[in-house]
Amino acid sequence: CHQCPPGRQPRLVLSHMFQPQNLREDQVLSLEGRASELTCKSQRLMLQVGLILPASPGCYHLMPYTVRAMEKLVRVIDQEMQAIGGQKINMPSLSPAELWRATSRWDLMGRELLRLRDRHGKEYCLGPTHEEAVTALVASQKKLSYKQLPLLLYQVTRKFRDEPRPRFGLLRGREFYMKDMYTFDSSAEAAQETYGLVCDAYCRLFDRLGLRWLKARADVGSIGGTMSHEFQLQVDIGEDRLVVCPSCHFSANKEIQNLSQNICPDCQGPLTETKGIEVGHTFFLGTKYSSIFNAQFTNAHGDPTLAEMGCYGLGVTRILAAAIEVLSTEDCIRWPSLLAPYQVCLIPPKKGSKEAAAAEIVEHLYDDITEAVAQLQGEVLLDDRTHLTIGNRLKDANKLGYPFVIIAGRKALEDPARFEVWCQNTGEVVFLTKEGVMELL
Interaction site with ligand ATP (CB under 6 A): 129, 161, 163, 172-173, 176, 178, 278-281, 313, 315, 317-318
DSSP state of 417: -
Nearer to Mg ion, 86 or 280 (CB): 280
Rounded Cα distance between 8 and 3, Å, is: 11
Shortest CB 294 distance to ligand ATP, Å: 25
Q: Compute the least distance from the CB of residue 109 to Mg ion, in Å.
A: 10
Would you say 281 or 418 has its CB closer to Mg ion?
281
CB of 128 to ligand ATP, least distance (A): 7
Residue nearest to Mg ion (CB): 281
Closest CB 112 distance from Mg ion, rounded Å: 7
- In the stretch 273-312, what mask flags binding to Mg ion with x, by CB under 5 A? -----x--x-------------------------------
215 in contact with Mg ion (CB under 5 A)? no
**Min separation Cβ 255 and Mg ion, Å:** 8
Task: Select the residue whose beta carbon is closest to ligand ATP and give its number.
Answer: 315
CB of 278 to Mg ion, least distance (A): 5
* Residue 176 partner contact from Mg ion, ligand ATP, none using kind-dependent CB cut-offs of 5 to 8 Å: ligand ATP
Q: Using the CB atoms, write b or e for 69-79: b if 16+ within 10 Å.
A: bbebbeebbee
Query: Strand, coil or helix: what is 202?
Result: helix
- Cβ-Cβ contacts under 8 Å for 96 (sequence gap 6 or more): 122, 123, 124
Instruction: Single out the residue of 247, 198, 206, 203 nearest to residue 227, CA to CA.
Output: 198
Rounded to the nearest angstrom, the gap between the alpha carbon of residue 26 and the centroid of all alpha carbons in its chain is: 28
Taken in order 374, 376, 379, 383, the sign of the CA dihedral is negative
Query: Is 335:323 a contact under the CB 8 Å cutoff?
Result: yes
Tell me which of Mg ion, ligand ATP, none is bound by residue 318, counting a contact when its beta carbon lies within the kind-specific cut-off of 5 to 8 angstroms.
ligand ATP
Cβ-based nearer residue to ligand ATP, 251 or 343? 251
Our CB check for ligand ATP shows the closer of 318 and 350 to be 318
Q: What distance in Å separates the CA atoms of residue 130 and residue 441, rounded to the nearest whole number?
A: 42
The whole-angstrom separation of Cα 410 and Cα 358 is 8
Cβ 281 to Mg ion shortest distance, Å = 4
- Number of helical H runs and strand E runs in the chain: 12, 22
Q: Could you say which DSSP state residue 164 is in?
A: S
Q: Which does 172 bind (CB under 5 to 8 A by kind): Mg ion, ligand ATP, none?
A: ligand ATP
Taking the least distance from each CB to Mg ion, the nearer of 113 and 361 is 113
Q: What amino acid occupies position 1?
A: C
Is residue 133 exposed (0-12), middle (13-18) or buried (19+ Cβ within 10 Å)? buried
Contacts of Mg ion in 397-416 (CB under 5 A): none
Please give the C-alpha separations between residue 125 and each of 120, 132, 217, 233, in angstroms, as whole numbers.
15, 12, 30, 30
Nearer to Mg ion, 41 or 281 (CB): 281
How many residues line the site for Mg ion (CB under 5 A)?
2
For the CB of residue 320, give the shortest distance to ligand ATP in the complex, in Å.
Answer: 10
Burial class (CB in 10 A: 0-12, 13-18, 19+), 436: middle
β-strands 227-234, 213-217: how paired? Answer: antiparallel
CB 39 within 8 A of CB 86: no
DSSP-assigned letters across all residues of 214-233:
EEEE---GGG--SEEEEEEE
CA-based nearest residue to 116, from 162, 173, 170, 158: 162
Give the nearer residue to ligand ATP in terms of CB position, either 240 or 367.
240
Contact partner, 250, from ligand ATP, Mg ion, none, Cβ < 5-8 Å per class: none
Smaller CB separation from ligand ATP, 13 or 220 = 220
Q: Kindly state the smallest distance separating residue 181's Cβ from ligand ATP, in Å.
A: 11
Residue 88 or 434: which CB sits closer to ligand ATP? 88
Report the residue number, 278 or 396, with the smaller CB distance to ligand ATP.
278
- Shortest distance in whole angstroms from residue 159 CB to ligand ATP: 7
Interface with Mg ion by CB under 5 A: which residues? Answer: 278, 281
